[in-house]
Amino acid sequence: MKYIDEYRNKDLILKLAGHIKKSALAGYTFMEVCGGHTNAIHRFGIPSLLPENIRLLSGPGCPVCVTGKDFIDKVVSCSGMENVIIATFGDLVRVPGSYSSLEKERASGSDIRIVLSALEALDIARKNPDKRIVFPAIGFETTAPGTAVTILNARKEGTDNFSVISSHKIMPPAMEAIIKDGTSIDGFICPGHVSVITGSHIYDFIAGKYNIACVIAGFEPVDLMQAVLMLVNQVNSRKPAVEIQYNRAVTHNGNDLAKEYMQSVFEPCDARWRGLGMIPGSGLRLRKEFGNFDAERILAPVSSLTDDDGQCICGDILRGIKTPADCPLFGTSCTPDNPEGACMVSGEGACNTWFKYKING
Amino acid sequence: MAEKITLGHGSGGRLMHTLVTDVFLKHFGTEGPLTDSAVRCQEGVIFATTTDSYVVDPLFFPGGNIGKLAVCGTVNDIAVSGAVPQFLSAAFIIEEGLPFEVLEAVAGTMAEEARLAGVKIIAGDTKVVEKGKCDKIFITTSGTGWLKPGLEYISTGEKIKPDDKIIINGAVGDHALAVLCARNNFSFKAPVISDCASLNHLIRKIISGGIIPKFMRDITRGGLAAVLNELAEMTGSSINIDEEHVPVNEPVRGMCELLGFDPLYLANEGKFIAVVDPSDVSKVMEIMRNDELGKQSAVIGEITSGNKNIVTLITPAGGRRIIHMPSGIQLPRIC
Amino acid sequence: MCLSVPARIIEVKGDMADVSVGGTIFRAGVQMIKNPRPGEYVLLHAGFAIERISEEDALETLRIIEEIKEAGSS
């Protein structure tokens, strides 16, 4: 398949592995903050191709994982209301809230449907004019423009029963929070598809103010290996910068059209990230003029105020200070079949990925 | 243990295994390893018997319908034990209001598939339940076949040893994708048809060609990953699989890349693996590739002497990772 | 969550397009692409084309790696 197979060329991968080994003279800690990267790194066995002195950490890059229990509670609350259809991305269905999950509610009779796109949710709204459709909008800057386009479509065609409950988030404030938190990071493997939308300049402050190397990487093994080599070289040269490895899709400026859509419908707000707490300006909420598509305003769903995660350490895992193996629940009472926390539910979550792909002893 | 049954408990993976062991085996006291069909000897006659229920949604999909699945699935469970499938029974639970023409179409397909497979449907049952109490139609088929003495080990894999090779008869994931597309809930179309087919004739060719596989199992829910993990656990083996050698048709690859599915975990209805001695590989491959149902046959891996009960995948990048038993999160009602 | 994959535009119909991912045809919104044309490759994410893929840059990436001098040589 074009733009995939060429980047799985074993010769190139081996060549890059050789160069990384020669160049990696010290110890390096690189963090990725993208669920797609978490998945790709482990799916292709990248750690097994790197020397032991390079450590890869997984940060808060999985949009499902960083979604707090309160958001799940609100969606669950909506699902229990009369004449409501929840049209949601599949990953959200199994995430436990404070007292229930969408999967459990579906088993009890709530109308919960899986969609692959906000546009499909809008289609459900058109076909069910007597129901209120609620689309839980999760995802980062990659996904928010699509939600924005859908809301604009809904407004244009008058599909007033379509609504969104937004948990969209943006990356840079979270990356800064991780840095300020004190996790020792030599470089970031920056999110590939967020950067397609935003452009590479959003990471300038990381290299400029914090002297941390940044490389925006693609998702194939060649991309990831090349990005690691570029990070090692940046660290070795003590010249942190923002470099684009994924130049076939990412530019300095990003996608202006997509950004315009996103900014016309959403505005920044404070947002709660699982594990990181409240981060100012890190979320996206619907602008006032789109209030009639705002499910929170229309339905006033309730959520539990508890922040108690019990023994689940998803928070520490998302900050990169602990690994899934450090969690007392990992693999015992918390498994993909029976997840305690979001990191185990989502296919991009660190715990789910470790469980799926981790080499045992 | 969970309080309520969830969809995950029916998807052929770890959750279902737990349900079967903790409830059914506990009460029924069934002995012996869990194989596709149960092989028993009574009065000197060795027979294989199996049962399966079919709840696929939708009923009709590219490449087949629930009736075809009901015949092929049970025929295949018998055939992979090395037995010759002979007779099937078919029980129907029908929802009030189902049009007769749907039942006619399903029954007609079952008859045709039984004829192709060379089996006879000799017993059956019919129940009708009120509207809403079952989804259109559910079918349960049971099957029986006779097994030549000395072939009992094919089901249990007890003769497997390191260096034995694992062969598959074609590409994985077509059935899952065909059913997903037919659901029409999602906005995509794939040029794929279900691989649903009776494998007994192909298997017979291998055996009468002088090769007795050391193990065979057909690949249904839970995909190749489930079968390989079952094999590893049942025999205490270590298995290596080369991802690049597992055939996957391009539309399935594309769907998996986009939706985040792993083709190794997708359902099939016309695929099986055979474990053979290395010296038998070229002969088996020749027989298989010359058959309609084996044109894309490939050697995908081998039994090794590494960590026991572990299935290791060598990725296209040359890295390594473990293939686990699928967890509960699979596509529901795929067969 | 849906990932993003390269997809080839088959046909553009207003602000939607049929795109092919290895032969599976998806309907995608192309509102974020200026002048989308059949034959072009885009990144498909959650039902939308989010950017064009530059063939020139794609080849450049591979060329750079191929040209990296063999480890150890001058």
| Closest by Cβ to A193, choosing from C31, C45, C60 | C45
Q: Is C19 helix (H, G, I), strand (E, B) or coil?
A: strand
In terms of phi and psi (left: phi > 0; alpha: psi -120 to 50; beta: otherwise), the region of A180 is alpha
Model confidence over A88-120: pLDDT tens digits? 998 888 888 888 999 889 988 999 998 989 999
Report the pLDDT averaged over residues A289-302.
95
Report the pLDDT averaged over residues B179-197.
84
Q: What are phi and psi of A146, to 5 degrees?
A: -65, -40
Report the domain count for chain C. Answer: 1
A48 and A189 part of one domain:
yes
- Residue A277: band (very low, low, confident or very high) from pLDDT cuts 50, 70, 90: confident
Residue C57's domain spans which residues? 4-67
| Whole-number Å distance between alpha carbons of B280 and B210 | 9
pLDDT, residue A68, reads: 84
- CATH fold group of domain B32-146: 60s Ribosomal Protein L30; Chain: A; (3.30.1330)
Q: Which of B208, B32, B24, B202 is nearest to B118 (CA)?
A: B202
Among chain A residues, CA nearest to C6? A3
Does the distance separating the beta carbons of C21 and B254 come in below 8 Å?
yes
pLDDT, residue B67, reads: 97
Does the distance separating the beta carbons of C23 and B187 come in below 8 Å?
no
Question: Per-domain residue ranges for chain B?
Answer: 1-28, 32-146, 157-322
Report the pLDDT averaged over residues B274-278.
98
Where would I find the H helices in chain B? 14-19, 26-28, 66-79, 100-117, 153-156, 174-182, 200-208, 223-235, 250-259, 281-289
Q: Which of B332, B184, B260 is nearest to A64 (CA)?
A: B260
Report the domain count for chain A. Answer: 3
Chain C interface, best mutation among A42, A64, A117, A141, by max C CB count within 10 A = A117
Does the distance separating the beta carbons of C44 and B258 come in below 8 Å?
yes
Report the pLDDT averaged over residues B34-50.
87
Q: Which of B85, B49, B92 is nearest to B70 (CA)?
A: B92
A288 belongs to a structural domain? yes
| Closest by Cβ to A8, choosing from B250, B310, B317 | B317
A159 and A261 part of one domain:
yes
Q: Which residue has the tokens 């997509």?
A: A258
Does the distance separating the beta carbons of C31 and A19 come in below 8 Å?
no
Beta pairing, strands B84-95 & B120-129? parallel
Chain C interface, best mutation among B184, B185, B188, B256, by max C CB count within 10 A = B188
| Whole-number Å distance between alpha carbons of A198 and B226 | 41
A8 vs C contacts (CB less than 8 Å)? none
DSSP secondary structure string, A193-255? HHHHHH-GGGGHHHHHHH--EEEE--SSHHHHHHHHHHHHHHHHHT---EEES-TTT--SS--
Q: Beta-strand (E) ranges in chain B? A: 38-42, 45-54, 60-61, 64-65, 84-95, 120-129, 137-146, 165-168, 188-189, 215-218, 238-242, 272-276, 298-304, 311-314, 320-322
Please tell me which chains touch A, using 3 or more CB pairs under 8 Å as the contact test. Answer: B, C
Whether residue C43 lies within 8 A of chain A, CB to CB, comes out as: yes
A42 and A187 part of one domain:
yes
pLDDT, residue B332, reads: 56
The string over A67-96, giving b where at least 16 C-beta atoms fall within 10 Å of a residue's C-beta and e elsewhere, is: bbbbbbbbbbbbbeeeebbbbbbbbbbbbb
Query: Position A162: which residue type?
Result: F
- CATH fold group of domain B157-322: Phosphoribosyl-aminoimidazole Synthetase; Chain A, domain 2 (3.90.650)
Report the pLDDT averaged over residues B199-220.
96
Q: What are phi and psi of A54, to 5 degrees?
A: -110, 120
A359 vs B contacts (CB less than 8 Å)? 312, 320-322
C34 belongs to a structural domain? yes
A100 and A203 part of one domain:
no
- Residue B30: band (very low, low, confident or very high) from pLDDT cuts 50, 70, 90: confident
Lowest mean per-residue pLDDT among A60-64, A180-184, A289-293, A319-323: A319-323
A329 belongs to a structural domain? yes
Report the pLDDT averaged over residues B209-227.
94
Interface of A with C in 310-349 (CB under 8 A): 346-348
Q: Which CATH number does the domain housing residue C35 bear? A: 2.30.30.140
Does the distance separating the beta carbons of A120 and B187 come in below 8 Å?
yes
Does the distance separating the beta carbons of A63 and C1 come in below 8 Å?
yes
Q: Which CATH number does the domain housing residue A149 bear? A: 3.40.50.11740
Does the distance separating the beta carbons of C6 and A36 come in below 8 Å?
no
| Whole-number Å distance between alpha carbons of C47 and C18 | 11
Does position C53 have pLDDT exceeding 70, yes or no?
yes
Work out the mean pLDDT of chain A and round it to a whole number: 91
A348 vs C contacts (CB less than 8 Å)? 1
B103, B126 Cβ separation under 8 angstroms:
no
A94 and A162 part of one domain:
yes
A126 and A159 part of one domain:
yes
C23 belongs to a structural domain? yes
Work out the mean pLDDT of chain C and round it to a whole number: 87
Does position A308 have pLDDT exceeding 90, yes or no?
no
Taking the CA atoms of residue A70, residue A76, residue A79 and residue A80 in that order, the dihedral angle to the nearest 10 degrees is -110
| Closest by Cβ to C32, choosing from A139, A222, A255 | A255
- Residue B186: band (very low, low, confident or very high) from pLDDT cuts 50, 70, 90: low
Alpha-carbon A192 to chain mean position: 11
Residue A136's domain spans which residues? 69-170+254-299
Does the distance separating the beta carbons of A12 and C66 come in below 8 Å?
yes
A292 belongs to a structural domain? yes
Model confidence over A165-178: pLDDT tens digits? 999 999 999 999 99
A247 belongs to a structural domain? no
pLDDT, residue C56, reads: 86
B228, B290 Cβ separation under 8 angstroms:
no
Beta pairing, strands C48-52 & C41-45? antiparallel
A306 belongs to a structural domain? no
Integer angstrom CA distances of residue A128 from A121, A132, B92, B322: 11, 8, 33, 44
B328 vs A contacts (CB less than 8 Å)? 336-337
Please tell me which chains touch B, using 3 or more CB pairs under 8 Å as the contact test. Answer: A, C
| Whole-number Å distance between alpha carbons of A131 and A117 | 19
A188 and A226 part of one domain:
yes
C29 vs A contacts (CB less than 8 Å)? 117, 119, 146, 149
Strand partners, C19: C9, C26
Please tell me which chains touch C, using 3 or more CB pairs under 8 Å as the contact test. Answer: A, B
B260 vs C contacts (CB less than 8 Å)? 1-3
A335 vs B contacts (CB less than 8 Å)? 327
A225 and A266 part of one domain:
no
CB atoms within 10 A of CB A122: 24
Does position B109 have pLDDT exceeding 60, yes or no?
yes
Whether residue A13 lies within 8 A of chain B, CB to CB, comes out as: yes
pLDDT, residue A360, reads: 41
Interface of A with C in 96-125 (CB under 8 A): 116-120
Model confidence over B219-271: pLDDT tens digits? 998 899 999 999 998 889 999 999 999 999 999 988 888 877 889 999 999 99
Among chain A residues, CA nearest to C52? A249
B319 vs A contacts (CB less than 8 Å)? 44-49, 221
C74 belongs to a structural domain? no
Reported as type and span, the H/E element at residue A162 is: strand A162-166
pLDDT, residue C72, reads: 44
Token pair belonging to B64? 């087949």
A39 belongs to a structural domain? yes
Q: Which CATH number does the domain housing residue A15 bear? A: 3.40.50.11750
A135 and A34 part of one domain:
no
